[in-house]
Amino acid sequence: MKDKILGMLLKEQGFVSGQKICETFGVSRTAVWKAVHQLTEDGYQIEAVRNKGYRLIQMPDYLSKKDFVNQLHTDWAGRNIYILDEVDSTNDEAKRLAEGGEGHGTVIIAKKQTAGKGRRGRSFESPMGCGLFMSMIIRDDILPSRASMLTLVMGIAVTKALETLTGLNVQIKWPNDVLAGGKKICGILTEMSMQIECMNYLVIGCGVNVRNESFPEEMKDRATSVLLEGVDLVSYSELAAGILEQFEVYYRMFMRNQDLTEIVDEYNEYLINKNRQVTVLNPKDQYEGLALGINTRGELMVQTRQEVKYVTAGEVSVRGIYGYI
């Protein structure tokens, strides 16, 4: 009952009368009061005013395992979970656990990362309690040559979850950023342990900026958070569960052919690179062209003056995004 009432309070974002709650769920006022009391014990701040009803005014500081499990509706993703106060990086912790034998779908969530990682060894800003820092272990029969596509699978999963839960206009910047308002709100990092032609395991991590009120000077024009985009009532548990639920859906599509055949059209709808001038910088050369979208292999197709090039890796700057004009 408390989850149903919480969902109603989150949706309304204002006072909801006790009578309306009773009528909606067919329960007594006493049952409503008990459910609200349970929510306050879980860390939700709920204002109760006579003749007005109940209003959610603040979410818990962070997620609890109990709250997360109650929100989660998956078959395997996140069914085994570690919630930690602090780690060096959730990806590194996931790799340590994977080396110790932890199984497929195990998830690690941390309130803070002291050495959060982005692509190409960059650091990832991870202050205490401001973001959702989450990594998952994948153990499956995946060809190593196809594994990098899971970065894109996680990208669309995060995008769909954020869009559904916050109502924000969210887009993807290939291959591993999720944007809101043209600024980065999430980064994704996939790392793999393999032998010759065989994947031992894969770790895929995402860091979502949730309650950041500001960013360092060098990042403020490039980064944003759910809070800065005007949404302040977001449950960490609901967001984590939502991402994992969406990931399962798209992962299932991916695994049917181990490619993006079933995802590519929807992915391209969210792709901010598409139909924009981009600059591609890789170890061999640098060139400009018009991004056409991704193909079923997850490659970014770029039309240059001479030909269509298929980008598998490297840095891709988009005109008008992150300061590239």
pLDDT over 90 at 3, yes or no: no
88-97, 105-114, 117-126, 213-222: least confidently modelled range: 117-126
Of 149 and 322, more confident? 149
Which fold would CATH assign to domain 2-58?
A: Arc Repressor Mutant, subunit A (1.10.10)
Residue 90 assigned to a binding site: yes
Residue 317 pLDDT grade (very low, low, confident, very high; cuts 50, 70, 90): confident
| H helix count then E strand count, the chain | 8, 14
Q: How far is CA 124 from CA 83, 115, 118, 150, 202, in A?
A: 19, 7, 6, 20, 20
What is the second-level CATH architecture of the domain 65-268?
2-Layer Sandwich (3.30)
Taking only the tens place, the pLDDT of each residue in 11-51 is 777 899 999 999 999 999 999 999 999 888 777 889 999 99
Residue 163 pLDDT grade (very low, low, confident, very high; cuts 50, 70, 90): very high
Quick check: 94 and 205 in contact, CB under 8 A? yes
Q: Where in the chain is the domain with CATH 2.30.30.100?
A: 273-318
Residue with tokens 């499990």: 69
Residue 184 assigned to a binding site: yes
How many residues are present in the chain?
Answer: 325
Indicate the pTM of the whole model.
0.82
Q: Whole-number mean pLDDT of the chain? A: 90
Residue 113 assigned to a binding site: yes
Q: Where in the chain is the domain with CATH 1.10.10.10?
A: 2-58
175-189, 263-277, 306-320: least confidently modelled range: 306-320
What three-state secondary structure class fits 20? helix
Scanning the chain, the segments in alpha helix (DSSP H) are 2-12, 18-25, 29-41, 65-71, 90-99, 149-166, 236-257, 264-270
Residue 261 assigned to a binding site: no
Instruction: Report the C-alpha dihedral over residues 251, 253, 259, 263, rounded to 10 degrees.
Output: -100
- Measured from the Cβ of residue 116, the count of other Cβ atoms closer than 10 Å reads 25
42-46, 58-62, 193-197, 212-216: least confidently modelled range: 58-62
Residue 128 pLDDT grade (very low, low, confident, very high; cuts 50, 70, 90): low
Q: What is the CATH number of domain 273-318?
A: 2.30.30.100
**What pLDDT score does 241 carry?**
96
Taking only the tens place, the pLDDT of each residue in 52-96 is 999 988 777 677 788 888 889 999 999 999 999 899 999 999 999
**What pLDDT score does 322 carry?**
56
Q: Which residues contact 196 (CB under 8 A, 6 or more apart)?
A: none
Residue % of the chain over a pLDDT of 70? 93
State the angle between helix axes of 18-25 and 2-12 in degrees (0 to 180), rounded to the nearest 10.
120
pLDDT over 50 at 246, yes or no: yes
- Which residue from 26, 226, 14 is spatially nearest to 4, judged by alpha carbons? 26
